[in-house]
Amino acid sequence: MDYTSLPLKRLAEQFERMPGVGKVSAQRMAFYVLGLTPDEAKNFADAITDAVSKLHRCSICQNLTEHDTCPICENIKRNKSIICVVGTVQDLMAVEKTGEYDGVYHVLHGEISPLNGIGPDDLTIKELLNRVKNEAIDEIILATNSDTEGETTAMYIQRLLKPFELKVTRPAYGIPVGMELQYADNITLGRAIEGRQIF
Amino acid sequence: MDYTSLPLKRLAEQFERMPGVGKVSAQRMAFYVLGLTPDEAKNFADAITDAVSKLHRCSICQNLTEHDTCPICENIKRNKSIICVVGTVQDLMAVEKTGEYDGVYHVLHGEISPLNGIGPDDLTIKELLNRVKNEAIDEIILATNSDTEGETTAMYIQRLLKPFELKVTRPAYGIPVGMELQYADNITLGRAIEGRQIF
């Protein structure tokens, strides 16, 4: 893009660094910002610096929060004896959105991936084990992804949890609701048959 | 989205207001920001406030600039006797990108659109006429869009320019380079035949 002014160019470059944003979208976003009032622009700018400066990990579950503990850990209605272990805060949000889960979480902040140099010590597995040791936990749901990294992470944690004699579960994998059987991929269909349930 | 922390929610909402950004993209962008260092976040925030506070219209051509006049008007290599009239700064950037134009510009900041309550006085037409009166202009290229608003604007300005006995032109409309003839729409093909040139 031939930006004739430096502040506009700089702004578009900032947007262009974001995931899924190309040159054209970045330009459109920069011109959107130019249409903001100084107050609106300040709010936008503050939202960016606030998110980075105010958010840190919940001292219990490692979810992001601006307080010492997150609203889920602080909620007395949540069942503290079930921990759903997820890779990222986005995964936590996806489970929350279902409205089906009333337990608490543990965010690993990654999954074991030797190819990317991410080992167990880079995740919050130690913190999870401390919770298992010190809290009254009945069940751990290992809701890591179903790809290689996620499966590896789940198996690694499962092994560490064995001495505690807990109920350790994994979400059901099968045909997505609404999908026609013929369009399910082999691995998913295989898992669905393997994990079949009484009707 | 079920954001469990307010700063994250606020940030995602800011992104969601941008054109072409949905809930899912906004969430991804918010998490991208969380991955920035405090310095990077500050640069991003400053780029937003700077663009709004520092940019204003060039006193000659109405392009956006942080100085009194824009780099194009200040460039001694540009031909000051040809003015390309465009609707928006984005249009100016599109013409610049071609590398084919060495004249200067005039940005109208809109096009006449009675339906949207935009009349000639909302545009920088007065400023254009002042330039025509006071500068040594040979040609005006009316490069407004080819839709109703753009055509109306071009015709309106053309009428105002008649007393000055200038060369007033409009970009050629025709078949896009690389497009097969059979796929061109009727109006475009009609214009292409009408505007045929000696081979």
Answer yes or no: is pLDDT of A101 > 80.
yes
CATH number of the domain encompassing residue A31 = 1.10.8.420
The pLDDT tens digits of the residues spanning B18-75 come to 988 999 999 999 999 999 999 999 999 999 999 999 999 999 999 999 999 999 999 9
For the four alpha carbons of B13, B19, B24 and B25, in that order, the dihedral sign comes to negative
Hey, are the CB atoms on A71 and B5 less than 8 Å from each other? yes
**Distance, CA of B31 to CA of B15 (rounded, Å):** 11
Answer yes or no: is pLDDT of A171 > 70.
yes
* Mean pLDDT, chain A, whole residue set: 92
pLDDT band per the 50, 70, 90 thresholds, residue B1: low
Task: Give, as one character, the DSSP assignment of residue A66.
Answer: S
pLDDT at A49: 95
Residue A198 maps to a domain: no
The ipTM of this complex is 0.82
Answer yes or no: is pLDDT of A68 > 60.
yes
pLDDT at B2: 66
Hey, are the CB atoms on B55 and A25 less than 8 Å from each other? no
Neighbour-count burial of B111, counting CB atoms closer than 10 A to its CB (0-12 exposed, 13-18 middle, 19+ buried): buried
Residue A182 maps to a domain: no
Q: Which of B5-19, B96-110, B177-191 has the lowest mean pLDDT?
A: B177-191
Do B25 and B108 lie in a common domain? no
Answer yes or no: is pLDDT of A74 > 60.
yes
Residues of chain B with Cβ-Cβ distance to A55 below 8 Å are: 5, 7-8, 34
Please name which of B111, B196, B186, B198 lies closest in space to residue B156, comparing C-alpha atoms. B111
Mean pLDDT of A51-68: 94
CATH number of the domain encompassing residue B154 = 3.40.1360.10
User: Using CA atoms in the order B134, B135, B136, B139, what is the torsion angle rounded to 10 degrees?
Assistant: -110
Do B103 and B18 lie in a common domain? no
Do A167 and A82 lie in a common domain? yes
Distance (Å) from the alpha carbon of A140 to chain B's nearest alpha carbon: 21
Residue B12 maps to a domain: yes
Residue B190 maps to a domain: no
Task: Give, as one character, the DSSP assignment of residue B60.
Answer: T
Q: Of B45, B49, B93, which is closest to A3 when you measure between CB atoms?
A: B93
User: What total number of domains does chain B contain?
Assistant: 2
Answer yes or no: is pLDDT of A83 > 90.
yes
Do A48 and A88 lie in a common domain? no
A to B CB pairs, distance under 8 Å: 166
pLDDT at A1: 55
Answer yes or no: is pLDDT of A111 > 90.
yes
Cβ partners under 8 Å of residue A191, min gap 6: A173, A174
Whether B61 contacts B73, CB under 8 Å: yes
| Most confident range, picked from A19-28, A126-135, B176-185 | A126-135
The pLDDT tens digits of the residues spanning B93-146 come to 989 988 889 999 999 999 999 999 999 999 999 999 999 999 999 999 999 998
The pLDDT tens digits of the residues spanning A133-162 come to 999 999 999 999 988 999 999 999 999 999
A53 alpha carbon, distance to own chain's centre: 20
Do A40 and A106 lie in a common domain? no
Between B38-54 and A23-34, two packed helices, what is the crossing angle to 10 degrees?
A: 60
pLDDT band per the 50, 70, 90 thresholds, residue A165: confident
A9, A25, A48, A86: best to mutate for the B interface, most B CBs within 10 A? A48
Residue B123 maps to a domain: yes
Do A27 and A106 lie in a common domain? no
Residue B49 maps to a domain: yes
pLDDT band per the 50, 70, 90 thresholds, residue A2: low
Q: Of B4, B19, B51, which is closest to A8 when you measure between CB atoms?
A: B51
Do A81 and A45 lie in a common domain? no
Do B132 and B165 lie in a common domain? yes
Which residues span the domain enclosing B23? 6-54
Do A166 and A87 lie in a common domain? yes
For the four alpha carbons of B80, B85, B91 and B94, in that order, the dihedral sign comes to negative
Q: Of B2, B11, B34, which is closest to A96 when you measure between CB atoms?
A: B2
- Identity (one letter) of the amino acid at A170? R
DSSP secondary structure letters along B2-24: --SSHHHHHHHHHHHTSTT--HH
User: Using CA atoms in the order B190, B192, B194, B197, what is the torsion angle rounded to 10 degrees?
Assistant: -160
Q: Which residue has the higher pLDDT, A126 or A191?
A: A126
Do A38 and A84 lie in a common domain? no
pLDDT at B39: 96
Distance (Å) from the alpha carbon of A1 to chain B's nearest alpha carbon: 7
pLDDT at B188: 85
